[in-house]
Amino acid sequence: MLSLRDVALTYRNGVRALDGVSLDVADGAFVALLGPSGCGKSTLLRLIAGLEKPSRGSVSGAENTSVGFVFQDPTLMPWADALTNARLALDLAHMPRLEADARARDALHAVGLRGFETALPAELSGGMRMRVSLARALAPEPRLLLLDEPFAALDEITRFKLNDDLRTIWMQRKCTVLFVTHSVFESAYLATRVAVMTARPGRIASQRDVDLPASRSVATRTEPAYAALARALSGDLEQATAQ
Amino acid sequence: MSRVEIIVWPCLVGVLLLALWEIAVRMLDVPSFVLPPPSAIAVALVKDGPSLLLSLIETLKLTIAAFAASCVSGLLLAILFTRDRRIEAALRPWAVVLQVTPIVAIAPMVVIWVGIDHVERAVFVLATIVGFFPILANASFGLRDVDPGLSDLFRLYRANRWQRLFRLELPAALPAILAGARISAGLALIGTVVAEFSAGSGEATGLAWRIAESGARLEIARLFAALLLLAFAGIGLNFLLAWVEKYVRSQRHLDARSG
């Protein structure tokens, strides 16, 4: 279990990004972190990944776990093809080439990029680049997947498709997912639990379990329960930002 | 502007200027040891072409050797600079001293140190000094200009320093390094010719010596012919490296491919 206790982070320039964040994430959960822009959501993910150190408090449960990270931008190596990009973590871990190739190829297939192994990032659309980025995070089969508004820059059609694909991957791989978003609807659609954050300095204002059926589809988006949940989350968000 | 126009317009200007030159020299009766007409230069180019070409090859050999040495030393120094801010702080001023020192001023010393019996070694050293700075400047910029997200990923996956250098920093710096190489190649050519002039002794065989010789003999047409060859060599070198640079860029950004 991933556990954050009273975590605070103040940057060297004096900006207080987080103040008193406490959060528990059960193994295999899909938790969405919902909050306004600039509330420290990204900082929180970076803390969990070990890319930042907390000024106060503790983060436990992620130290010895394999972590996958997907950024807001695809951040691919522009000089390397999709397969090489997807293989990055495995290459850096000195995995033998044949095995690494096979696993990277599997990850590309899992995100729907069969046949694009040799394509360079410049030859791919924005959605496909994000898929490569997702495959790169999945290739080392992480136990914890951190996603930082990964689909925010994509068009709605692509975003919906990737939402479904991500749900499928999560259900197949049974990893823990922490998904940062500023979209009420995206968080409601994807997660098993939604944690709402306040404006900077960020803190968890409230949490809400998602009582929707495990299998979600286009139909989910028009269900009354989904609409009710989205309305409740909007209320939570409004309250959190008003504080 | 179309591809054809890019070639046609400068050529047209060139032809126009040459025609004006030819007419002016003939009408004003300028003596050919002051300014020969283009036609005389063309004749000299045909007559002395082969011997000038041999000298040019000598100069180009040294240029390429100096350019290669510039690339290697500039890149190694840039890698060293980017490992630790303190190393850079300690060494950068000295690199700048080397850059701003006029090569003509240090040529006599370098000749005494390495070139007493081998002028070409002195020329090589001097041209290398001239050529290495753009590589150093561009490479150290490029090695730092790494996508912060990728840098974080390498940290997340616990990449060691060699993996970071070879899999992230060097590939990311390649376009900047190539841009530096293009400047450096031109400077290496100029550096070689200037060094040949300054280090010049009887045994020098490069193009600079031909130019000096032509000037001394008032064979100005031959001097111009040598200059023309030098210009073509410079343009050729530049085009070659520009092509490499463009190819690398086109691999990374599709927009450059259609350009």
Mean of pLDDT over chain B: 87
For B253, which of A73, A92, A122 is closest by C-beta distance? A122
User: In terms of CA atoms, which chain A residue is nearest residue B146?
Assistant: A77
Q: What end-to-end distance do the CA atoms of chain A give, in Å?
A: 29
Q: Do B252 and A75 touch (CB under 8 A)?
A: no
pLDDT higher than threshold 90 for residue B58: no
- Could you tell me the CA-to-CA distances from B101 to A170, A178, B107, B133, B169 in Å, in that order? 63, 58, 10, 12, 31
* CA–centroid distance for B68 within its chain: 11
d(CA A165, CA A108): 12
Q: Give the ipTM of the model, two decimals please.
A: 0.90
Tell me the nearest-neighbour CA distance from A166 into chain B, angstroms: 20
β-strand pairing of A2-10 with A176-181: unpaired
d(CA A100, CA A89): 9
- Chain A residues near residue B259 by CB distance under 8 angstroms: none
Tell me the nearest-neighbour CA distance from B253 into chain A, angstroms: 5
Q: Which of residues 193-222 of B touch A (CB under 8 A)?
A: none
Q: Which of residues 137-176 of B touch A (CB under 8 A)?
A: 147, 149-150, 152-159, 163, 167-168, 171-172, 174
Tell me the nearest-neighbour CA distance from B172 into chain A, angstroms: 8
pLDDT, tens digit (0-9, with 9 covering 90-100), for A145-193: 999 999 888 888 889 988 999 999 999 988 999 999 989 999 989 999 9
Mean pLDDT in residue range B252-257: 54
d(CA B133, CA B141): 12
User: In terms of CA atoms, which chain B residue is nearest residue A52?
Assistant: B152
Q: Any CB–CB contact under 8 A between B51 and chain A?
A: no
pLDDT, tens digit (0-9, with 9 covering 90-100), for A46-85: 999 989 888 888 888 877 788 999 999 999 999 999 999 9
Mean pLDDT in residue range A213-217: 81
pLDDT, tens digit (0-9, with 9 covering 90-100), for A121-137: 999 998 999 999 999 99
User: In terms of CA atoms, which chain A residue is nearest residue B253?
Assistant: A122
pLDDT, tens digit (0-9, with 9 covering 90-100), for B218-246: 888 888 888 888 988 999 998 899 998 88
| Chain A with chain B: Cβ pairs closer than 8 A | 50
pLDDT higher than threshold 80 for residue B108: yes
Here the tokens at position A140 are: 């080392």
β-strand pairing of A2-10 with A144-148: unpaired
The pLDDT value recorded for residue B259 is 31
* CA–centroid distance for A24 within its chain: 16
d(CA A212, CA B142): 50
pLDDT, tens digit (0-9, with 9 covering 90-100), for B149-172: 999 999 999 999 999 999 999 999
d(CA A47, CA A56): 11
The pLDDT value recorded for residue B203 is 60
Contacts of A98 (CB under 8 A, 6+ apart): none
User: In terms of CA atoms, which chain B residue is nearest residue A148?
Assistant: B149
Half-sphere exposure of A98 (CA within 13 A, CB side): 0
